[in-house]
A and B are shown apart, each in its own frame.
Chain A
Amino acid sequence: MPIPAALAFALAAAAAPDPEPTGTIEIPQDDEPLPSAIDTMSGDPGDDVDPDALLRLPRRTLVRSRFSVHPLATWTSVLGGHGSALWLGAGLGHQLFPVDEVPLHLGLDTRLEVTAPVGGASGLRVDLRSALCPWFGRLGLSLGPTLRVDREIWALGQEVPLGVLLGAELGVVVDAGLVQPRLAVAPAGIVAGAPRDPRDPVLPTLLDQTTWRAGLGFDLHPLQVGLEAALRESSAGPTLEAGVALHLLAF
C-alpha cells in the first residue's frame, strides 16, 4: 500500500534531527501550577495539581502544637479598702490550632498558672484551665473547665481558706481589627475545703465563687498587648485583679 506523501513527509521530518540551536531559545511554558508546601500544609494541594508523588502521601490540615512559658503579674485589690497586693508568678501554656483557614476554626488552649503575693497578703493560687476556642469569622468563643486551688490571707484580716474549686469558663471575644474586646464569666464550686459564700457581691454570682473578666487586646506590631481586669466574687469580698499580657507577633 503506498504511503501518502504528506504522511511520508511528516515521518521524515519527525525522524530528522533538529538543528543545534544557536540563538536565544524561548522556553515554552505550560499552565500547570506547581504544588507548594504552603498549600499542602493546609490540606489543599490545589485543584490542578496532580503530581504522582504528592498523591501517594496523605494530606491533611496541619494542626500545630505549641508550648509556652510566660511570666505573670497581676495587681489585686480587695474592694472596700481591705488590702491590695502584687501577685507574681509564671504560667505554662499549651495550644493546639490549625494553621489555615477552615470554616470552623477550632483551637484548644490549656494553661497552668501559679502566682503568689508580694507584700500586702500571703497565700497561693494555682489555676488550671483548658478551653475549646471555636472562631466564627471575627467572633470567638472559649468554653472549658477550670480547676483552682487557692488560699489568701490579706493583711487587713480578710481570708480565703484553702480550697479546691471546680468550674467552667465561658468567654466571647470580637476581633475588630486593631482592638479585640473580650468578656468572660467563670463560676466555680468548692469540691474540697471549707464552704465559701461570696461576700457583698457587686455582680451576680453563681455557685461558690464567680469571676467576671473584661479585657482588651491591642495589636501593636510586633507586640500584641492584652489588658484584662477580673472581678472575683469570693468570701474575702469582691476582689479586683488587673494584669497585662504581652505576645510577640512574628508576622
Chain B
Amino acid sequence: MLLALAALAHAGPPPGVDLDDLDRWETLAGRALDGPAGCWDLEGDVALRQTGFAAPSLFRRADRAESTFGGTFHGRLDGGRWTSFEYTLARTSGSEDSTELEAPLWPMVGRIDPSVPHRIVPDEEAPSSSLRVEGGSGEGMNLLRHTLDLIDPATSTATAEWRDSEASVRVLQDVPVDDAANADVLAVSTRFPGGGDQATDVDVVFPRRMRGGTRLLRVTVYDAQFHLRAQRVGERVLPAKESVSLGLSVLGFTIGYEQALTYRRATPCAPAEPPGP
C-alpha cells in the first residue's frame, strides 16, 4: 500500500508522453499563442498601468508616479486572426496632469493587423485621445512571435521536463538575443497540463536590458515580459488572461508600461446567414 502511494506521489509523465521529442514540444509551444481553433467572439476587461520614474534633482528625490486605466474590450478571433478588436479605456487612478501614453492596445494572443485595434472614445474626447494605426498586411501578425522572429537566433536550447508538482510538462526554451558567445537570453516557459497537446501557461521574459535605437536616440528596454494563462473549458483551451509589460528609457526618461487583458466570455461565432431565395 505504501509503495502504491509513493508511486502515485511520483507518478511521472503519463504513458505516451515522450519528453525527448523536443521538435514536437517546440512546435506545440509555438502554437500556444494561436488562440482557440474556430471562430470566437471574445470579451473581457482591459487594464493599463503606466509608471514614470522621475530622476532626482538637488531639491527632489527620485520618485515614481503611477496612473492606471481600465476598460473593456470585445473582438472576434477567427482562425487565430483578429478581424475586429474594440476597447474602451478610462483613467482609474493617478494625476490628471500625468502624461497618458497613446500606445494602441494589442492582444498578444492570435494574429492582428495593426489597423484592427480601435479605441472607442466618447465624442468629446475623440480628437485628442483616439489613435488608430493604419496600414498592415491584412493577414495580421502576432507581436510576440514577430519579435522572436526579429531576434532570429542562430542557436537556442530547449528542454522538456515532467513536473509532478503541477502534473504538467514544462518546455523551457532559452533564446540568445544575438550571436555573441555570452549573449543574454530570453527565456520561454510553456506548460502543458497532463502532457497534453494544449498549453495553458506561457511565460516569456526578455533580458534585463536590451539596448537599441540610433546613436542620437538611444532606447533601452528593461525587463520586457509576456505572460499568458489559459483555461480548459470542455475540450477547448480558451485564453483567460494575458499581460505584456516593459520598462523603457529614452532621452533620460524612464517609464514602465503594462497592458493586461482578462478574457471573461467567449461565444462561438454565429453561423453566417444562408443567402436568401
Contacts and interface: CB of A to CB of B under 8 A. Distances in A.
20 contacts: A20-B235, A21-B233, A23-B267, A24-B266, A24-B267, A27-B239, A29-B264, A36-B49, A36-B245, A37-B247, A51-B201, A56-B189, A62-B208, A105-B62, A107-B56, A133-B56, A173-B59, A175-B61, A219-B60, A250-B54
B127 interface: no
Interface in A106-145: 107, 109, 133, 135, 140, 142
Given A35-B227, A38-B257, A100-B64, 19 more contacts: A18-B235, A24-B266, A34-B227, A37-B246, A38-B247, A38-B258, A51-B203, A54-B225, A56-B172, A62-B222, A95-B55, A107-B61, A107-B62, A133-B61, A215-B59, A216-B59, A251-B53, A251-B99, A251-B255
A30 B234 CA distance: 17
Interface of B: 44, 49, 51-62, 64-66, 97-99, 170, 172, 187-189, 201, 203-205, 207-208, 222-225, 227, 229, 231, 233-236, 238-243, 245-247, 249, 252-258, 260, 262-268
Q: Is the interface of B mostly helix, strand, loop or mixed?
A: strand
Contacts of B245: 35-38
A1 interface: no
A28 B265 CA distance: 9
Contact of B243 (A34, A56, A68, A142): A34
A122 B14 CA distance: 86
Contacts of A173: 58-59
A48 interface: no
B156 to A, nearest CB: 14
Contact of B231 (A24, A27, A38, A67): A27
A27 B264 contact: yes
B102 to A, nearest CB: 15
B190 to A, nearest CB: 9
A173 B61 CA distance: 10
A75 interface: no
B256 A38 contact: yes
Contacts of A161: none
Given A19-B234, A29-B241, A62-B247, A182 B225 contact: no
